[in-house]
A and B are shown apart, each in its own frame.
Chain A
Amino acid sequence: MSTIRFTKDHEWIRVEDGRGTVGITDYAQSQLGDVVYVELPEVGATLAQGDEAAVVESVKAASEIYAPVSGQVVERNEALEAEPGTVNESPMDEGWFFVLSLADPGELDGLMDADAYARYVKDLD
């Protein structure tokens, strides 16, 4: 049974068994425009919550992706190197960026659930 949480910077993290898959939301990809390049963290990298974890280059600009929670990078989505547009096409699924082994699952409590995030995005526009 997995839990999904969202950050104010439009990252999502889907957690199951102490591992969290991280990506950006549909709102984020639509704001960015066509993604042309993704710079992913190295496997083994240790990230604190809020650390810069990845960079997304769109046609317009580069945007930082931050670690939603603390942990160690255990997997990265190599497929994005050849197909960065996957982030636009499938931001919540195939367009995942990396997987973290969570250092402190308690940090999830400070993030928004799906309903809270939906309200947050609604207020932005």
Chain B
Amino acid sequence: MAVDALKTTPLHDLHVALGARMVPFAGYSMPVHYPDGIIAEHRHCRARAGLFDVSHMGQAFLAARDGGDPAAALERLCPGAIATLRPGRMRYTLLLNDAGGILDDLMVTRSAAENGRLFLVVNAAVKEADFALMADRLADATVLERLDDRALLALQGPRAEAVLATMLPEVRELAFMRAREATWQGVPLAVSRSGYTGEDGFEISLPAEAAETFARALLDHPDVAPIGLGARDSLRLEAGLCLYGHDIDATTTPVEADLVWAIAKSRRERADFPGADRILKQLAEGPARRRVGIRPEDRTIAREGTVIRDPAGDRVIGRVTSGGFGPSVDGPVAMGYVETAAAQAGTPLGLEVRGRLRPARVAALPFVPHRYVRKG
């Protein structure tokens, strides 16, 4: 892909100045790592605070067309209880197709300041499809306003609150999955306590033209280091979090993907979401396959696509959908789908790597405990 065909985020020049190795990702030139390397960045995030540029993701407001509730419309596509989402709260949810397959996973925040408006963050790789779907199916009741002029940064790690509070003192009061608007040096921004690493942390949405100044102010703190997509992937994998297009896709249902908690109880009872018939059937009878954690028992790394067999190697029973090295557990980690009979933690598996069967076991997720800050 020609470099000049790639899009750039507002922090592109900063990444280059910091010595990042840039790679194409979802049509953007993105930093995969900085000079210290992926493992050092991963460890830094879990020990102190890592700064991620995730501006490639799709940000948008979904507002009601005539003073109604945009959430009621969004529920046509999602199985979550979005209509009951209160101001300042956010929820992880899924866009589903009529077969109950997952079109994307996303975060939905109910704005505190605006009248019922929803703030959406969707995955970069499918944002065009997501926004086209919403425009097509929700246009009678909603207006979708893309925020392509905004950057999105994530600050994650045990020191994230202390660091961010020096710039935005109000974040000390913010609990996990809560959001609020704030101002920094006259720049209006939205901040949430959420992330994709399993650590405590925040995501900040702000105007593109202020992003570099804001990022540099964060990087001035000795506890903060820039983190690229390489470590972002190993962090979320250790946290047991799905990557769309790999661990979840249009062929996986929330039941198979072990994401049943994203289907609100009230919505289950009403069966009023796409693919409800198939999903409710799987809930009643059990799915044929399930997403599980996998730990190779030797040092072999099993990557996406690795065939999973029973320990004797006789039958194919699944496939790895994400895999790599987990620096925080000092060993290989993976996620994948296996037939339901093999989905219990501790079940022995055989992983086909370079023509040989390697021993592994189903492992409980997450590999590293989450450290979300839920306030009472």
**Residue A59 is within 8 A (CB to CB) of chain B in the complex:** yes
Q: Write the A3-40 contact mask toward B (1 if CB under 8 angstroms, else 0).
A: 00000000000000000000000000000011011010
Given A33-B37, A34-B37, answer yes or no on A59-B303 (Cβ-Cβ < 8 Å).
no
Q: Whole-angstrom distance between the alpha carbons of A52 and B32 in the complex?
A: 28
A 28-64 binary contact with B (CB < 8 Å = 1; else 0): 0000011011010000000000000001010111100
Compute how far the CA of A60 lies from the CA of B229 in the bound complex, rounded to whole angstroms: 11
When chains A and B are docked, how far (Å) is the Cα of A50 from the Cα of B39?
31
B31-51 vs A: 1/0 string, CB under 8 Å?
A: 011000111100000000000
Jot down 5 A-B pairs with beta carbons below 8 A, ordered by A.
A34-B38, A36-B299, A37-B300, A55-B354, A60-B230
Q: Please indicate the chain B residues that have their CB under 8 angstroms from the CB of A61 in the complex.
A: 303
Cβ-closest 10 pairs across A and B: A36-B325, A34-B39, A59-B38, A57-B301, A37-B299, A34-B37, A59-B325, A34-B38, A37-B301, A33-B37
Residue from B32, B33, B299, B300 whose CB has the most chain A CB atoms within 10 Å: B299
17 new A-B pairs (CB below 8 Å) besides A36-B301, A59-B38, A62-B301? A33-B33, A34-B37, A34-B38, A34-B39, A36-B39, A36-B325, A36-B332, A37-B299, A37-B301, A37-B332, A59-B37, A59-B324, A59-B325, A61-B303, A62-B303, A62-B354, A81-B299
| Contact call A59/B230, Cβ cutoff below 8 A | yes
* Alpha-carbon distance between A40 and B301 when the two chains are bound, in angstroms: 14
Q: Is the CB of B325 within 8 A of A33?
A: no
Q: Are B234 and A59 in contact (CB under 8 A)?
A: yes
Cα distance A81–B32 when bound, in Å? 26
In angstroms, Cα B33 to Cα A15, docked, is 36
Distance in angstroms between the alpha carbons of A33 and B332 in the assembled complex? 16
* Contact indicator per residue, chain A 66-84, by CB within 8 Å of chain B (1) or not (0): 0000000000000001000
* Bound Cα distance from A65 to B67, whole angstroms: 64
Residue of A whose beta carbon sits closest to that of B39: A34
A62 to B38, CA, bound (A): 15
Count, chain A residues at interface, CB 8 A = 12
With a 10 A CB-CB cut-off, give which of A34, A37, A39, A55 has the most chain B CB atoms: A34
Which residues of the other chain, A, contact B39 by a CB distance below 8 angstroms?
34, 36, 59
In the complex formed, the residue of B with least CB distance to A57 is B301
**Assembly CA distance A85 to B322 (angstroms):** 23
CB neighbours (8 Å) of A36 from chain B are: 39, 299, 301, 325, 332
| Contact partner, B38, options A33, A37, A57, A81, Cβ 8 Å | A33
Q: How far is the CB of A110 from chain B (nearest CB, A)?
A: 27
- Nearest CB on A from B122, distance (A): 26
Shortest distance between the CB of B277 and any CB in chain A (Å): 41
B33, B37, B234, B325: the one within 8 Å of A57 (CB): B325
In the assembled complex, the CB of B300 is this many whole angstroms from the nearest CB of chain A, namely 7
Of A34, A37, A57, A59, the most chain B CB neighbours within 10 A belong to A59
CA distance A36 to B300 in the complex (A): 9
Bound CA–CA A60/B32 (angstroms): 10
* Closest Cβ–Cβ distance, residue A73 to chain B (whole Å): 17
The contact of A33 among B230, B299, B301, B354, by CB within 8 Å, is: B230
A31's nearest neighbour on chain B, judged by CB, is B21
CB distance from B15 to the nearest CB of A (A): 16
Q: How long is the Cα–Cα vector from A90 to B33 in the complex, in angstroms?
A: 21
Expressed in whole angstroms, the Cα–Cα distance for A39 and B298 within the complex equals 11
